Amino acid sequence: MKYSDSVDILIKNGIVLLADFSFKNINVGIKGREISYIGNEEPQAQAIIDASNMMAMPGFINSHTHAGMHLFRGIADDLKLKEWLEEHIWPLESKWVSRDFVKASTELAVLEMIKSGITTFSDMYFFEDEVAKVVENTGIRAILGEGIIDFPTPSFANALDTVSFVKELAYEYRENERVNVSVAPHSIYTCSRDTLKKAKEVSDEYNLSIHIHVSETLDELLNAKRDKGKTPVEYLDSLELINSRFVAVHFVHAEKNDINIMKQRSGNVILNIQSNKKLGSGIPHVKEYMNAGLTIGIGTDSVVSNNDLDMFGEMQDIAMSDLDPQAIRAKDVLAFATIKGAEAWGMDGLIGSIEVGKRADIILIDFKRPHLQPLYNPISSVVYAAHPEDVDSVIVDGKILMKHREMLTMDEEEILHNARAYAERIK
């Protein structure tokens, strides 16, 4: 049967990465916010993107960020996590973080994300209502979690006020598909038992994901065993936090029973391998998580602990993190960065793959580069050889945000000027 409808945007002449991770030279049509056509025909279109020598693929899902920290990039390097956090980051945040700081930081972060092919990010920081405004204005998609901590933060005096704000934010954006809300208690070492239980109550009431740092360092694991008689995962499970909406970030020091609990409760894991290596936290047990059938996503963490938002680098490092070269394949990590990341946030019915009826969150990778030729396997080339600068165009929710490296929804020069001005004040 011939496709007779017109489309708003037609991507033609390119390779398309399909939902089953096969790739074909076919066309993709977008109507409104959705992918409406995949096939060999060329429907009438208001706009045509010639993707010759490119691959259309789902946009990356950066499953753990702290976008509001972007203006601190490079300010505290070569440190262990505890010293980095307690002696540098927390004092800096106390002095500098404000609504305006978070806005300027997030604009810089979103600019970097769009230019590197990230179409969705999951954030944990402060003044997330300001982050939401940036998301709305720029066209990107996000899951936003106000950081819940038992001591005062730049945005709230205590955890109870933060939890109340999360409820308000969830209600405000309850019908917004591009601005989603999570409950984000920072960790078991910054949140009391009562705070964690309140976080679960909000998660249950509003059907929100719980976004939390878990077992990031060996010290965290050993301290939990000493103080609570349980690993962090066992402790969180005793509070009934772990279910299909539970998203454990880092999960570096996981014991066998931790993995079993996560499997039994359908918990999700987000890998942040470059941040973990930079802070000396360790390497996650990716093969064991895969063998257990855990849903795995990828996050970059903040640029203060990484120092970029490069999902290509994250994929490559994860793929090469096991001594068995067949244990974690290029196809696996590309899934972590796309459809599995969507699944971790309960959004796999909406985004994460190029399928008719899903939202049109699509990026184009330009293979006309010396480091991407010759081209035998596009998936291997993306994972092992591509860089953020190889992203040619970005579409989110059916709207073109970047075309041929030109930003269409953000003033790049103004954002970079603001970042430089802040740096002059901070240094």
Is residue 174 within 8 A of residue 209, CB to CB? The reply is no
Tell me what the mean pLDDT of segment 191-210 comes to. 98
The pairing of strands 362-366 and 391-396 is antiparallel
- What distance in Å separates the CA atoms of residue 405 and residue 369, rounded to the nearest whole number? 14
Q: How many residues does the chain have?
A: 427
CA separation for the pair 271, 64 (Å, rounded): 9
List strand residue ranges (DSSP E) for 184-284, in order.
184-185, 210-214, 246-250, 268-271
Query: Within the chain, which residue ranges are assigned CATH 2.30.40.10?
Result: 7-58+359-407
Q: How far is CA 282 from the centre of its chain?
A: 20
Task: Pull the structure tokens for residue 170.
Answer: 């969830």
Cis peptide before 378 (omega within 30 of 0): no
**CATH class of the domain comprising 60-344:** alpha beta
Residue 309 and residue 65 in contact, taking contact as beta carbons nearer than 8 Å: yes
403 beta partners: 406
Q: How many CB atoms lie within 10 A of CB 119?
A: 28
pLDDT tens-digit profile of 222-233? 999 999 999 999
Distance (Å, whole) CA 43 – CA 37: 9
Q: pLDDT digits over 118-147, tens only?
A: 999 999 999 999 999 999 999 999 999 999
Q: Mean per-residue pLDDT for 244-253?
A: 98
pLDDT value at 370 more than 80: yes
Model pLDDT, residue 268: 98
Radius of gyration of the chain (CA): 21
pLDDT value for 1 = 45
Q: Can you tell me the distance from the alpha carbon of 47 to that of 196, in angstroms, rounded to the nearest whole number?
A: 49
Residue 33 contacts residue 351 (beta carbons within 8 Å): no
Tokens of residue 281, six digits: 């936290």
| Residue ranges in 17-158 assigned as alpha helix (H) | 81-83, 90-96, 99-115, 128-138
The pLDDT assigned to 2 comes to: 64
d(CA 187, CA 75) in angstroms, rounded, equals 23
User: How far, in whole angstroms, is CA 218 from its chain's centroid?
Assistant: 24
As given in the structure block, the two tokens for residue 342 are: 């969507």
Q: Determine the angle formed by the axes of helices 128-138 and 159-172, rounding to 10 degrees.
A: 20
- Higher-pLDDT residue of 386 and 5 is 386
Question: What are 36-56's pLDDT values in tens digits?
Answer: 999 999 999 999 999 999 999
Query: Which candidate, 136, 175, 113, 23, places its Cα nearest to that of 306?
Result: 113
Nearest Cα to Cα of residue 22 among 54, 57, 67: 57
pLDDT tens for 269-305 read 999 999 999 999 999 999 999 999 999 999 999 999 9
Q: Work out the average pLDDT over 331-351.
A: 98
Q: Please report the pLDDT score of residue 84 as a whole number.
A: 87
Angle at which helix 193-206 crosses helix 159-172, to 10 degrees, equals 10
- The pLDDT, as a whole number, for residue 81 is 83
Nearest-angstrom CA–CA distance, 217 and 219: 5
d(CA 270, CA 214): 10
What's the whole-number mean pLDDT along residues 375-402?
98
Element (H, E) at 343: helix 339-344
**Range(s) within the chain of domains with CATH label 3.20.20.140:** 60-344
H helix runs in 242-309, sequence order: 256-265, 273-278, 286-291
CATH (one of 3.50.50.60, 2.70.98.50, 3.40.50.10860, 2.30.40.10) for 7-58+359-407: 2.30.40.10
Q: Is the model's pLDDT at 306 over the cut of 80?
A: yes
DSSP 3-state of 173? coil
Which amino acid appears at position 10 of this protein? L
* Residues of the chain above pLDDT 70, percent: 99
Q: Quick one: which H or E segment has residue 362?
A: strand 362-366
* pLDDT of 236: 98
